[in-house]
Amino acid sequence: MNFTKMQGAGNDFIVVEAGNESRDWARIAIAACDRHFGIGGDGLLLVLPSDIVDVRMRLFNADGSEAEMCGNGIRCLVRYVFDRGVVPRGELSVETLAGIRRVKLITVNGDIRFQVGMGQPRLAAAEIPVKVTGKNRLDITLDYPVRVDGEQVPLSFVSMGNPHAVLFWQRPVSDFPLSQLGPQVERHRIFPNRTNFEVARVVNREQIEARVWERGVGETLACGTGACAIAVAARLHGYTGDRVDIKLPGGILNVEWDGRGEVFLSGPAEVVYTGEWRSEVPAK
pLDDT value, residue 108: 77
Q: Which overall architecture, per CATH, does domain 2-118+269-276 show?
A: Roll (3.10)
For the stretch 160-215, pLDDT in tens is 999 999 999 999 999 999 999 999 999 999 999 999 999 999 999 999 999 999 99
Residue 137 — very low, low, confident or very high, per pLDDT cuts 50/70/90? low
| Residue from 224, 225, 160, 165 nearest 200 by CA | 165
Question: Which own/partner pairs from 149-156 qualify as long-range (CB within 8 Å, at least 24 positions apart)?
Answer: 149/180, 149/181, 149/184, 153/181, 153/185, 155/185, 156/233, 156/236, 156/237
pLDDT of 134 > 90? The answer is no
pLDDT value, residue 278: 85
pLDDT of 243 > 90? The answer is yes
More confident of the two residues 26 and 19:
26
Say how far apart CA 253 and CA 11 lie, in whole Å: 12
Residues with catalytic function: 70, 223
Find the mean pLDDT for residues 248-272.
97
| Residue from 12, 21, 30 nearest 66 by CA | 30
* Secondary structure class of 202 (helix, strand, coil): strand
pLDDT value, residue 112: 85
DSSP state of 128: T
Residue 107 — very low, low, confident or very high, per pLDDT cuts 50/70/90? confident
Distance of CA 60 to the CA centre of its chain: 12
Find the mean pLDDT for residues 17-31.
91
Residue 227 — very low, low, confident or very high, per pLDDT cuts 50/70/90? very high
For the stretch 45-88, pLDDT in tens is 999 999 999 999 999 999 999 999 999 999 999 999 999 887 76
Say how far apart CA 136 and CA 138 lie, in whole Å: 5
Q: Strands 207-214 and 218-220, how do they pair?
A: antiparallel
Query: Cis peptide before 129, with omega less than 30 degrees from 0?
Result: yes
Find the mean pLDDT for residues 248-261.
96
Find the mean pLDDT for residues 134-156.
85
pLDDT value, residue 188: 97
Find the mean pLDDT for residues 265-272.
96
pLDDT value, residue 139: 73
What's the first-to-final CA gap in the chain, in angstroms?
15
For the domain 125-261, what is the CATH code? 3.10.310.10
Percent share of the chain, pLDDT over 70: 96
pLDDT value, residue 135: 65
Question: Which own/partner pairs from 50-55 qualify as long-range (CB within 8 Å, at least 24 positions apart)?
Answer: 50/94, 50/95, 52/95, 52/100, 53/92, 53/93, 53/94, 53/95, 53/100, 54/81, 54/87, 54/92, 54/93, 54/94, 55/81, 55/86, 55/87, 55/92, 55/93, 55/94, 55/95
Summary mean pLDDT of the chain: 94
Find the mean pLDDT for residues 236-242.
97
* Secondary structure class of 186 (helix, strand, coil): helix
DSSP state of 114: E
Residue 284 — very low, low, confident or very high, per pLDDT cuts 50/70/90? low
Find the mean pLDDT for residues 279-283.
61
* Secondary structure class of 172 (helix, strand, coil): coil
Give CATH 3.10.310.10 domain extents, the chain. Answer: 2-118+269-276, 125-261
